[in-house]
A and B are shown apart, each in its own frame.
With several copies, the nearest count.
Chain A
Amino acid sequence: MENKPKIYNQDVLHHYQNPHNRGKLDDPDFSATKENPNCGDRISLQLKLSEDEISEVKFDGHGCVLSIGAASILTQMAMGLRVSEASDLTVDDLLNNMGNPGKMRKDCVSLALEVLKEALSQSGG
């Protein structure tokens, strides 16, 4: 049996309570929305590119500590990346930046990432 994690990493909890980049962009280049049907969490994400780089990104939605926390952390990670770099981000990258919360909730974490990938795929990247 593995050791139990603390409920959540303090950092994640902080992001949940004070999410970064929350809101809407006025004139996004690409946007996407997804729902995790298992719990109704919904994240939408909008981004602007400048050349090939993500210059602005915002998310909105509702959900649990992990999905909101992940969205907040992910927007920070994505800012400034090239489309190809952002497209290569994996759930493991995100989990690492979140202090690796338990695998049981991987779906909560991956929601934001899926939304980002969907938005990026529209850019043809």
Chain B
Amino acid sequence: MLNVEDVKRDFPVLKNRDLIYLDNAATTLTPEPVIQSLQEYYKKLGASVHRGIYQLANETTEEFERARNSIADYIGANSPREIVLTKNCTEGINVIAYSLERWQEKSGKVLVTEMDHHSNILPWRFIANGSKKFQLEYVEVTKEGRLDIEDYKRKLSPETVAVAFPGISNVLGTVNPIKEVTNLAHENDALVILDGAQWLPHRAFDLSEYGVDFLTFSAHKMLGPTGLGVLYGREELLRMMPPPFGGGEMVLNVTRQKVKLTDPPQKFEPGTPPIAQTIAFKAALDYLEKLEVSQIKDHVDNLTQRAVNKLSKIPYIDIYGPKEGEPRGGLVSFNLEGVHSHDLATALDSLDNIAIRAGLHCAQPLHEVLEINSSARVSFYVYNSNEDVDRFIAGVKEVKTILGGENGE
């Protein structure tokens, strides 16, 4: 079991502010060891990586590559060559979308889902609009908030180029059947891109178990610094695929006429990478492993179920996504009838410093499907306690009394 009080002590923001932070699906707070790592980097290292011949550059490069190794190990990649460092999860998806478009001989459909974050919709859409090669299609979401596997099977065919979907929906909390989706795609020779932004923070992920071709996630949603994302790609694919972006550090040889690229991952990392952030992300992963990922999952699951249970008992509330007791990934989105989600967020913040999210959560197509204009969302992490959930629930009830009963319709 996680000892939440111990964990909380590692997070300076929670000491410096009176705060119940329940917006973890957007970004997480930062623990001491990560802050420490950044500080050490800038105080003791700080040269550019790969090209320097002097000692400082060598040490910096070694720390940087050691961090890349840790990331590879964390997700069970075969090699650090499969780990491309990006600035956020979104960049990784864009890189794959552009690269696939140039590389794929096959032309046909790219499937995304109605529950995708804009970051896993718009890159594909921009590409599909600009090129005659790809057409975008949306796999539907059932009334219960699950991926509609029957609809997926109908839309999937040997003409499908790629399937992009989230491990966990950032609005519904739905935990998708990664293996099933992946196997079906592979039977149709379609590549699989998994948006792991909401999965990686609190669930173990082993590539050898799931077999996806690409995986993207963000460091800042799992205790790491801002400005860093990870793109995993199977090595043989990364070797064959052309990098969409050009720059320094990615070429073996450039004459005015020819370019010879380096091997992955450098091939996909033009320019100076986010060095300090990558090294500090290793500190975040070490911290998560120290807490134990399975413990983190249990803890987050408990908080989430507690929130679902208690919320369901409040009258006039709509909860989206999986039912009580069903698997759910660390978050709950809901609406209180007669109270706009924005008003709820403002009120909880004013009343008791409870930070929750309200709006569309960058998932507008899903809100269209749900036929709602916005929703409120709470999301949990290692430093949240049962008491945080209870104060949140008390807050919701209070807001209902103050603002409910009349709405702007």
Contact = CB atoms under 8 A, between A and B. Distances in A.
Given A16-B406, A38-B360, A104-B346, A7 B340 contact: no
B1 interface: no
A62 B372 CA distance: 12
A67 to B, nearest CB: 7
Interface stretch (B34-42, B55-63, B233-241): B55-63
Interface stretch (B46-54, B129-137, B291-299, B315-323): B46-54
A101 B360 CA distance: 22
A28 interface: no
Contacts of B359: 38-39
Given A102-B346, A105-B53, A39 B340 contact: yes
Contact of B351 (A1, A7, A61, A67): A7
Given A37-B364, A41-B340, A64-B342, 11 more contacts: A6-B350, A7-B343, A7-B351, A16-B408, A37-B260, A37-B360, A39-B360, A39-B374, A65-B408, A68-B408, A105-B346
A24 to B, nearest CB: 15
B373 A1 contact: no
B208 interface: no
B358 interface: yes
Interface residues of A, number: 30
Interface in A39-71: 39-41, 61-68
Interface in A1-31: 1, 4-8, 13, 16-17, 19
B253 interface: yes
A83 interface: no
Interface of B: 17, 51-55, 57-59, 62, 251-253, 260, 340-343, 346-347, 349-351, 358-360, 364, 367, 372-374, 399, 402-403, 406-409
A113 B394 CA distance: 35
A7 B350 contact: yes
A1 B55 contact: yes
A40 B408 contact: no
Contacts of B347: 7
Given A64-B408, A65-B408, A4 B55 contact: yes
Contact of A66 (B252, B341, B342, B364): B342
A64 B340 contact: yes
A39 B260 contact: no
A105 B54 CA distance: 10
19 contacts: A1-B17, A7-B343, A7-B346, A7-B351, A7-B402, A35-B253, A39-B358, A39-B374, A40-B374, A61-B408, A62-B408, A65-B403, A67-B408, A101-B346, A102-B55, A102-B58, A104-B52, A104-B57, A104-B346
A61 B358 CA distance: 19
Contacts of A17: 406
A37 B346 contact: no
Contacts of B62: 103
B367 A104 contact: no
A108 interface: yes
B394 to A, nearest CB: 15
Contacts of A66: 342-343
Given A39-B373, A65-B340, A104-B58, A4 B360 contact: no
Nearest to B17: A1
Contacts of A101: 346
Nearest to B251: A37
Given A62-B408, A104-B52, A104-B53, A39 B58 contact: no
A123 B63 CA distance: 40
A6 B347 CA distance: 8
A16 B339 CA distance: 11
Interface string A102-125: 111100100000000000000000
A38 B359 CA distance: 6
